[in-house]
Amino acid sequence: MIQTVGNHLRRGLASVFSNRTSRKSASRTDSDNMADGEGYRNPTEVQMSQLVLPCHTNQRGELSVGQLLKWIDATACLSAERHAGCPCVTASMDDIYFEHTISVGQVVNIKAKVNRAFNSSMEVGIQVVSEDLCSEKQWCVCKALATFVAHRELSKVKLKPTVPRTEEEKTEHSVAAERRRMRLVYADTIKDLLANCVIQDDLESRDCSHMVPAEKTRVESVELVLPPHANHQGNTFGGQIMAWMENVATIAASRLCRAHPTLKTIEMFHFRGPSQVGDRLVLKAIVNNAFKHSMEVGVCVEAYRQEAETHRRHINSAFMTFVVLGADDQPQMLPWIRPQPGDGERRYREASARKKIRLDRKYIVSCKQAEMPLSVPWDPSNQVYLSYNNVSSLKMLVAKDNWVLSSESNQVRLYTLEEDKFLSFHMEMLVHVDTAQAFLLLSDLRRRPEWDKHCRSVELVQQVDEDDAIYHVISPALGGDPKPQDFIILASRRKPCDTGEPYVIALRSVTLPTHRETPEYRRGETVCSGFCFWREGDQLTKVRPSVSFPFPPRFTPKPHLCPELSSVQTSALPLASKLSSSCREPEYQGLERSLH
């Protein structure tokens, strides 16, 4: 079976690269043109515009983040209910990074739309833009992703699927499944990372005489949930709870720095249970750790109905990062904090671990492909985010609608794409193999030498989990280079979440301290490559191998390939000809081998 799949791929590559014809891809359908046109609007899109008044601001005359969170939650909830056709409640809000503050007199424009619907939950994408009415300038304040759950009193909700039409919608729809996967394991991931992460303990080396006791920052406040705080079902608005949490967190941060702090980051809100009108909510906050220019504040929310109740329900927890900005808008140095023995020291060390995780997550998940190194260091603290980036990068690459059909032969098509300093290829072919079998066979890279002559050996370095593994791949020496080439590859495989979605095998380079570059091999790298499989029949599979190459200066090709790669405008046809003649030597890595 593996030889069958390999033979199809090998014959497809040979036939494509020997073909010299080139033509543009077929034009998009009328419906796609309408989707990209000005007349199209996502049916779930909801917009809110609010003029910032003095009553909305904090002590610095800027829009309170708590008020902004209420507007964000309300807009996202209306979008979710527009798709669901029934009431919805907030389940979670992903990490939010606030890039700008908003002043009195400016306008806040919030846009929300459903990216994807699952069984009874849906992901809503939110974008917040601030507008200065006098100068007509606009700037992005933040982006957010929220999960809402549809709720009916008498029946179970089964949401209708969303139908993406534009390239952006298709991309968001595709990667939403991977983000959902990341959310479902979020709590366990954080727990495991905190248990295994090596945390630098510098408490003993600090001057205790210049440290602020953590207990001085502790805040406790109670709120009575009234009808204005809830929806028509009597459930407390998630945005209102988040606003109350931001309030007590700001007080705790102010007690440490003795100034007016600015909220920069909110780690994921996860609502563990509902709250209704009549509940008493107890909000507790304390500074867990103070770093050089930032501090982490932990907030916990508990609920109870009657004063005589001894049991309190845990509603929500969150961690917020504050800074203190000087006159030049730069973060100022903060005093050290002295945690209380026991739980205080545990929270202190966990905050240090979360800081590292936040930096890894922001860098890996938010960084553009062109800004990332070809190989990213792998460790358990960033594994979940590297896997997300691995799969989402391949899905977004395949979902692009501006691919150019370069050549076609024997029902095998080669497409090219020049974008963001990257030259990308993908092939499209049909193979007479069951889709699930092809997926399982090709997802084990150790079997690749059976069908790929450009792959000499593959060693499993680490089985990270059921769907992610790290391999050491060795390729034969190139034509003019006596050294073989090796790769350290993170392979992430994903089964489809819904009908019509592809099986995915995503591959990218990583670095490991146990497998550094050696004089024996020349280390190769790939930033995005892999396979997508679609079921076309009982024993028929559509396969799309894809790979991206960086343009110079980050990529130095062989001399005879420089003329073709030195210009973004260069036709892909001469490059295909060079690759075709180089595959046998092989002087060039070749598309098939580059899928490592």
pLDDT band for 443, please (50, 70, 90 cuts). confident
Based on the fold, state whether residues 57 and 113 are members of the same structural domain. Answer: yes
pLDDT > 90: percent of the chain: 46
pLDDT band for 29, please (50, 70, 90 cuts). very low
Query: Is a pLDDT exceeding 60 seen at residue 290?
Result: yes
Give per-residue pLDDT as tens, 71-113: 999 999 999 999 999 999 999 999 899 999 999 999 999 999 9
Looking at the DSSP assignment, which residues form a beta bridge with residue 121? 149
Cβ atoms 393, 505 nearer than 8 A: no
Looking at the DSSP assignment, which residues form a beta bridge with residue 530? 506, 546
Q: Is the peptide bond before 586 cis (omega within 30 degrees of 0)?
A: yes
More confidently predicted of 199 and 115: 115
pLDDT > 70: percent of the chain: 80
Q: For position 496, which CATH number holds?
A: 3.30.530.20
The answer to whether residue 36 sits within a structural domain is no
More confidently predicted of 1 and 81: 81
Angle, CA 366 vertex, CA 364 and CA 367 arms, to 5°: 70
pTM as predicted: 0.79
Q: What pLDDT, on the 0 to 100 scale, is given for residue 365? A: 67
- Write 339-342 long-range contacts (CB < 8 A, 24+): 339/203, 339/214, 339/288, 339/289, 340/213, 340/214, 340/215
Give per-residue pLDDT as tens, 176-226: 988 888 887 766 766 776 676 555 555 555 555 678 999 999 999 999 999
- Tell me the C-alpha distance between 570 and 567, whole Å: 5
pLDDT band for 17, please (50, 70, 90 cuts). very low
Tokens of 188: 């366990």
Based on the fold, state whether residues 418 and 285 are members of the same structural domain. Answer: no
Q: What pLDDT, on the 0 to 100 scale, is given for residue 8? A: 53
Give per-residue pLDDT as tens, 510-542: 999 999 999 999 998 888 899 998 988 777 888
Q: What pLDDT, on the 0 to 100 scale, is given for residue 426? A: 85
The answer to whether residue 34 sits within a structural domain is no
- Tell me the C-alpha distance between 286 and 251, whole Å: 9
Query: Is a pLDDT exceeding 80 seen at residue 6?
Result: no
Based on the fold, state whether residues 529 and 473 are members of the same structural domain. Answer: yes
Tokens of 160: 């209708």
Q: What pLDDT, on the 0 to 100 scale, is given for residue 205? A: 52
The answer to whether residue 33 sits within a structural domain is no
What is the secondary structure of 21-56 as a DSSP string? ---PPPPPPHHHHHHHSTT---TT-EEEEEE--GGG
Give per-residue pLDDT as tens, 445-485: 898 888 777 788 999 999 998 999 999 999 888 767 788 98
The answer to whether residue 397 sits within a structural domain is yes
Task: Please count the structural domains in the chain.
Answer: 2
Scanning the structure block, which residue is given the tokens 């979020």? Answer: 186
Task: For residue 327, give the nearest of 260, 264, 263, 265 by alpha carbon.
Answer: 260
Based on the fold, state whether residues 333 and 255 are members of the same structural domain. Answer: yes
Lowest mean pLDDT among 45-54, 353-362, 487-496: 353-362
Task: For residue 484, give the nearest of 560, 589, 583, 555 by alpha carbon.
Answer: 589
The answer to whether residue 37 sits within a structural domain is no
* Residue 583 φ then ψ, to 5°: -60, -35
The answer to whether residue 71 sits within a structural domain is yes
Q: What pLDDT, on the 0 to 100 scale, is given for residue 577? A: 35
Based on the fold, state whether residues 339 and 397 are members of the same structural domain. Answer: no
Based on the fold, state whether residues 363 and 406 are members of the same structural domain. Answer: no
Give per-residue pLDDT as tens, 143-182: 999 999 998 877 778 999 999 998 889 889 988 988 888 8
pLDDT band for 497, please (50, 70, 90 cuts). confident
Cβ atoms 380, 510 nearer than 8 A: no
Query: Is a pLDDT exceeding 50 seen at residue 34?
Result: no
Give per-residue pLDDT as tens, 570-590: 333 333 333 233 333 333 333
Q: For position 301, which CATH number holds?
A: 3.10.129.10
Quote the mean pLDDT of the chain. Answer: 81
Tokens of 131: 């507008």
Based on the fold, state whether residues 312 and 393 are members of the same structural domain. Answer: no
Based on the fold, state whether residues 100 and 219 are members of the same structural domain. Answer: yes
- Domain final position from 316, 332, 367: 367
Based on the fold, state whether residues 12 and 155 are members of the same structural domain. Answer: no
Lowest mean pLDDT among 5-14, 291-300, 389-398: 5-14
Lowest mean pLDDT among 3-12, 32-41, 230-239: 3-12
Tokens of 269: 């809100």
Q: What pLDDT, on the 0 to 100 scale, is given for residue 10? A: 52
In Å, how far from its chain's centre is CA 291? 26
- Tell me the C-alpha distance between 403 and 397, whole Å: 10
* Bridge-based pairing state of the strands 376-377 and 485-494: unpaired
Q: What pLDDT, on the 0 to 100 scale, is given for residue 181? A: 82
Q: How far is CA 452 from CA 4, 161, 315, 442, in A?
A: 12, 39, 54, 11
Task: For residue 319, give the nearest of 264, 360, 267 by alpha carbon.
Answer: 267
- Tell me the C-alpha distance between 249 and 269, whole Å: 14
Based on the fold, state whether residues 411 and 533 are members of the same structural domain. Answer: yes
Q: What pLDDT, on the 0 to 100 scale, is given for residue 190? A: 66
Q: What pLDDT, on the 0 to 100 scale, is given for residue 262? A: 95
Query: Is a pLDDT exceeding 70 seen at residue 386?
Result: yes
- Of 28-42, 130-144, 489-503, the range with the highest mean pLDDT is 130-144
Give per-residue pLDDT as tens, 243-260: 999 999 999 999 999 999
- Domain final position from 335, 367, 399: 367
The answer to whether residue 210 sits within a structural domain is yes
Task: For residue 223, give the nearest of 299, 282, 168, 304 by alpha carbon.
Answer: 282
Q: What pLDDT, on the 0 to 100 scale, is given for residue 51? A: 97
Based on the fold, state whether residues 278 and 345 are members of the same structural domain. Answer: yes
- Domain final position from 333, 367, 401: 367
Q: What pLDDT, on the 0 to 100 scale, is given for residue 267? A: 87
Q: What pLDDT, on the 0 to 100 scale, is given for residue 479? A: 66
The answer to whether residue 38 sits within a structural domain is no
| Domain span including residue 135 | 46-367
HSE-up (13 A, CA, CB side) for residue 382: 22
Based on the fold, state whether residues 391 and 528 are members of the same structural domain. Answer: yes
Give per-residue pLDDT as tens, 310-336: 789 999 999 999 999 998 989 999 999
